[in-house]
Chains A and B, each alone.
Chain A
Amino acid sequence: MPNAAYIAWIPLLPLAGFVLLGLFGRKYFRSYSGLIGTGIVLVSTVLSVWVAWSYFGQCLSEGFCRQTVPLELTWLSFPSGVSIDMSIILDPISVMMIVVVSLVSLMVHIFSLGYMKGEERFGTYYAFLSLFTFSMLGLVLAGNIFGIYIFWELVGCSSYLLIGFYYDRPTAVAAAKKAFIVTRLADLGFLVGILILSFYGETLDIRTLIERLIHPSIQFASITTASFLGISMLSWGLFLVFIGGAGKSALFPLHIWLPDAMEGPTPVSALIHAATMVVAGVYLVARLYPIYAFSGLQVLKVVQYAGALSAILAAIIACTQTDIKRVLAYSTMSQIGYMMFALGSFHPVGEEAALGYTAGMFHLFTHAFFKALLFLCAGVIIHRVHSNEMKDMGGLRKTMPLTHACFLIGCLAIAGIPPLSGFFSKEEILLAAYHSDKLIYYVGLFTSGLTAFYMFRLYFSVFWRKDGGKRPKEDGGHTEAGGQGYGGAAGAVQGGIARPVQAGVAGAVQGGDHHGEAPMVMKAPLLILAAGAVLAGYAPFFRLVTYNGTPLETHGVSLFAVAPVGLALAGILLAGWLYRKESNRPDQVMVAFGVLYRTAYHKFYIDELYLFVTRKIIFNLIGRPAAWIDRHVVDGLMNFLAALTAWISAAIKRFQSGKVQDYALYFFAGIAGLAILFILRH
């Protein structure tokens, strides 16, 4: 069995990296800080893979995965026997997660060596990445629910720092604040949920908590009998914990921060806002899954519907967006919705009971690879084109063959086309949903078609659309040593698509800087992740990752897969028909959908709704009165005390005249007064 000492090093090494780079990175080893950060994460990754290897090896040999706590340090203990421990929990999902987190983090570290090169705050960037890696690894390993909460806030904090990395851009600052505030609001739910569960469960240790809340015990009796608004405290606790998870995982309606979070550097989006942090909510629900499944089925239903709703809404929005990173962000949101409704698809009877759990975790695993791959490809494209807008791209398949291939793999994987990883996990999710709730199943099926459509809309718009053969003059840039990266975009102007002029100028100036496709440090992570996106589906998940440790029966590809794959192919063909060549078909479709298109384009006006609620209702009805009370009552009291003191001292300061005879007189009067007092007393 893996022993404790080196498991603790997995999160602690990035922490050391953060401290080292954060304190000295900018001053002493500016150019090496990237290599230092990457080296540290490499060690963590090797350790994680080693832990996973030995852990799953033991699982396979025993035929059963046990949950172990290799390290437990009591940190804060309270008189009532409750204590906050720093403990490490090892079970299939945490072991799977440390591999995903450290591996994707390593890829992003390597990729950033090229992508962030020449950045002024290079060392700071790596320090923040290390902080994030530490927090995320801590989050997945923590065996105490309060420990999870601490790391939960830490990932939020590092996400805030990285979204706002370009702090001279007002939009980035606003996005960072938005992400922080929205997730923080949701975390309030998480905190209250923790307090409810631990108050009734009388423990903060996850294993003990699960033990007490799924079997009839004193704690179980007390938490189910206590109720608020007719709903038992157990359901409230689980629901509030889920709210925290929904905020972090950008589920509808707490998703509004995720698209804006794309203001951060693209590798950061790949790491934090696609592969790891945003799935923390899914992980949290999975962590407490036995409680949800055995005692909180109604809440699990809420999880399921929230997941399905956000899956389909995000997919619809993704079809209308034009910013490449935003499309990917909505796609992330949609895929997280998939994971959530997979978790929610618990069917109390039958052999597919907890298929949803495994399917959700499986999708989390595969999604991490192909979504990180897609984001890093987007990073390469943005690095090359100097724009996020799809209309500035097009025809890139000739100049960027490797990126093209990787992006295609990612798109096929996310669309769920058979031999790639996304197919396996998505099929299991749909199977779980089918056994649990038909409505959810159809929503999932439709969403998978939409997913294929919007991903290939992105793919065709970026890599095809403008063909080099038709306009040799403008597109000459592509062939001339591949140096004029912006040539294709210049063609876009000719093609009658509106585009800011200055972007074209900037592109023309910078176009000459990039020879070839991308440096090797940026290509290597793409290749590794592409390999992951192809092969991750073959991981023996059903034997290893199940909620109770016993393997599920594996079943091969069945006829069931025909519907989602067929829909995905239809989506791809439709996208190809619309976007492969430049035409007015997309505009016609846009007009045909009319109101629906406009609503989706404006993200269903949810941002506007939030602004209305905050600006008009909360600011006016709560904020302003509170500010008035603060200014007039609280401050008024303090000002009054200060004014009173000033007035009294002004009145009595004349006594201090500076004349020695006056002082002598007061002294004498004092003595005389005391003497008189004495005489009168006796």
Chain B
Amino acid sequence: MTPIPLTHILFVSTALFFIGTYGLFTRRNMITMLMSVELILNSVNINFVAFNKYLYPEKLDGVFFSLFIIAIAAAEAAVAIAIIINLYRNLRSIDVEEASDLKF
């Protein structure tokens, strides 16, 4: 069985990245935006693992990096949800368009 070429995996991660980006820019629901950010992070994870496996199979740096990113993503999700809850308490909504006080 021939191994799956690197480009295939990169296609998947790129698709995942742009899906996430698209979601981040178009969704108005903050929870959905958070989910989109997770997609972006995971696409990066896939890249790390893939490059590690295909380019430097004898090393583990990429794997470690993705482990870090998973941990940070968890922390980020906690912080983001805390922000969202606070915004909800203030605005009675989790629509990101409502939170527009941060300007001139």
Binding site for B on A (CB under 8 A): 653, 656-661, 664-665, 668
Name the B residues within 8 Å of A658 (CB-CB).
99-103
Query: Which residue of the partner chain, among A653, A656, A657, A661, contacts B24 with CB atoms under 8 Å?
Result: A661
A-B residue pairs in contact (CB < 8 Å), sample of 24: A653-B104, A656-B103, A656-B104, A657-B103, A658-B99, A658-B101, A658-B102, A658-B103, A659-B96, A659-B97, A659-B99, A659-B100, A660-B96, A660-B99, A660-B102, A661-B24, A661-B25, A661-B33, A661-B96, A664-B24, A664-B25, A665-B25, A668-B21, A668-B25
B35 smallest CB distance to A (angstroms): 15
In the complex, which residues 19-61 of chain B have their Cβ closer than 8 Å to any Cβ of chain A?
21, 24-25, 33
Query: Bound state CA distance, A2 and B100, in angstroms?
Result: 83
Name the A residues within 8 Å of B24 (CB-CB).
661, 664
Name the A residues within 8 Å of B99 (CB-CB).
658-660
Query: Bound state CA distance, A660 and B96, in angstroms?
Result: 7
B94 smallest CB distance to A (angstroms): 12
Name the B residues within 8 Å of A668 (CB-CB).
21, 25
Query: Bound state CA distance, A658 and B100, in angstroms?
Result: 4
A292 smallest CB distance to B (angstroms): 71
Q: Nearest 5 A-B pairs (CB), nearest first?
A: A658-B103, A658-B100, A658-B102, A656-B103, A659-B100
Which chain B residue shows the least CB distance to A658?
B103
Query: Bound state CA distance, A658 and B99, in angstroms?
Result: 8
Query: Bound state CA distance, A657 and B100, in angstroms?
Result: 7
Query: Bound state CA distance, A657 and B104, in angstroms?
Result: 8
Query: Bound state CA distance, A67 and B100, in angstroms?
Result: 84
B104 smallest CB distance to A (angstroms): 5
Binding site for A on B (CB under 8 A): 21, 24-25, 33, 96-97, 99-104
Tell me what chain B mostly uses at the interface: helix, strand, loop, or mixed: loop
Which chain A residue shows the least CB distance to B24?
A664
B101 smallest CB distance to A (angstroms): 6
Query: Bound state CA distance, A660 and B25, in angstroms?
Result: 9
Name the B residues within 8 Å of A661 (CB-CB).
24-25, 33, 96
Name the B residues within 8 Å of A656 (CB-CB).
103-104
B85 smallest CB distance to A (angstroms): 16
Most B CB contacts (10 A, CB to CB) among A656, A661, A664, A665 go to A661
Query: Bound state CA distance, A300 and B29, in angstroms?
Result: 96
Query: Bound state CA distance, A267 and B99, in angstroms?
Result: 76
Query: Bound state CA distance, A558 and B25, in angstroms?
Result: 115
Name the B residues within 8 Å of A660 (CB-CB).
96, 99, 102
Query: Bound state CA distance, A658 and B98, in angstroms?
Result: 10
Query: Bound state CA distance, A664 and B25, in angstroms?
Result: 8
Which chain B residue shows the least CB distance to A664?
B24
Query: Bound state CA distance, A527 and B84, in angstroms?
Result: 94
Query: Bound state CA distance, A659 and B95, in angstroms?
Result: 11
B14 smallest CB distance to A (angstroms): 13
Query: Bound state CA distance, A557 and B33, in angstroms?
Result: 115
Query: Bound state CA distance, A665 and B25, in angstroms?
Result: 7
Q: A658-B103, A659-B96, A660-B96 are in contact. List 19 more A-B contacts (CB 8 A).
A: A653-B104, A656-B104, A657-B100, A657-B103, A658-B99, A658-B100, A658-B102, A659-B97, A659-B100, A660-B99, A660-B102, A661-B24, A661-B25, A661-B33, A661-B96, A664-B24, A664-B25, A668-B21, A668-B25
Name the A residues within 8 Å of B103 (CB-CB).
656-658
Query: Bound state CA distance, A661 and B96, in angstroms?
Result: 8
A663 smallest CB distance to B (angstroms): 8
Which chain A residue shows the least CB distance to B103?
A658
A109 smallest CB distance to B (angstroms): 65
Query: Bound state CA distance, A660 and B21, in angstroms?
Result: 14
Name the A residues within 8 Å of B97 (CB-CB).
659
B98 smallest CB distance to A (angstroms): 10
Query: Bound state CA distance, A557 and B73, in angstroms?
Result: 115
Name the A residues within 8 Å of B33 (CB-CB).
661
A650 smallest CB distance to B (angstroms): 10
Which chain B residue shows the least CB distance to A663?
B102
A12 smallest CB distance to B (angstroms): 59
Name the B residues within 8 Å of A657 (CB-CB).
100, 103
Most A CB contacts (10 A, CB to CB) among B21, B99, B104 go to B104
A445 smallest CB distance to B (angstroms): 85
Which chain A residue shows the least CB distance to B26?
A661
Name the B residues within 8 Å of A664 (CB-CB).
24-25
Query: Bound state CA distance, A213 and B97, in angstroms?
Result: 86
B67 smallest CB distance to A (angstroms): 25
Which chain A residue shows the least CB distance to B33?
A661
B72 smallest CB distance to A (angstroms): 18
Query: Bound state CA distance, A604 and B49, in angstroms?
Result: 105
Query: Bound state CA distance, A665 and B102, in angstroms?
Result: 16
Query: Bound state CA distance, A653 and B103, in angstroms?
Result: 9
Query: Bound state CA distance, A45 and B58, in angstroms?
Result: 100
Query: Bound state CA distance, A658 and B97, in angstroms?
Result: 9
A598 smallest CB distance to B (angstroms): 72
Query: Bound state CA distance, A665 and B26, in angstroms?
Result: 10
Name the A residues within 8 Å of B101 (CB-CB).
658
Query: Bound state CA distance, A286 and B101, in angstroms?
Result: 78
Query: Bound state CA distance, A661 and B29, in angstroms?
Result: 11
Which chain A residue shows the least CB distance to B98?
A659
Query: Bound state CA distance, A664 and B33, in angstroms?
Result: 11
Name the A residues within 8 Å of B25 (CB-CB).
661, 664-665, 668
B83 smallest CB distance to A (angstroms): 10
B21 smallest CB distance to A (angstroms): 7
A647 smallest CB distance to B (angstroms): 15
Query: Bound state CA distance, A660 and B100, in angstroms?
Result: 8
B62 smallest CB distance to A (angstroms): 21
Which chain B residue shows the least CB distance to A653?
B104
B33 smallest CB distance to A (angstroms): 8
Which chain B residue shows the least CB distance to A665?
B25
A653 smallest CB distance to B (angstroms): 5
Query: Bound state CA distance, A661 and B33, in angstroms?
Result: 9
Query: Bound state CA distance, A281 and B76, in angstroms?
Result: 83
Query: Bound state CA distance, A659 and B97, in angstroms?
Result: 6
Which chain A residue shows the least CB distance to B102?
A658
Which chain B residue shows the least CB distance to A659?
B100
Query: Bound state CA distance, A657 and B33, in angstroms?
Result: 18
Query: Bound state CA distance, A657 and B102, in angstroms?
Result: 8
A655 smallest CB distance to B (angstroms): 10
Name the B residues within 8 Å of A653 (CB-CB).
104
Query: Bound state CA distance, A661 and B34, in angstroms?
Result: 12
Most A CB contacts (10 A, CB to CB) among B33, B96, B103 go to B103
Which chain A residue shows the least CB distance to B101?
A658
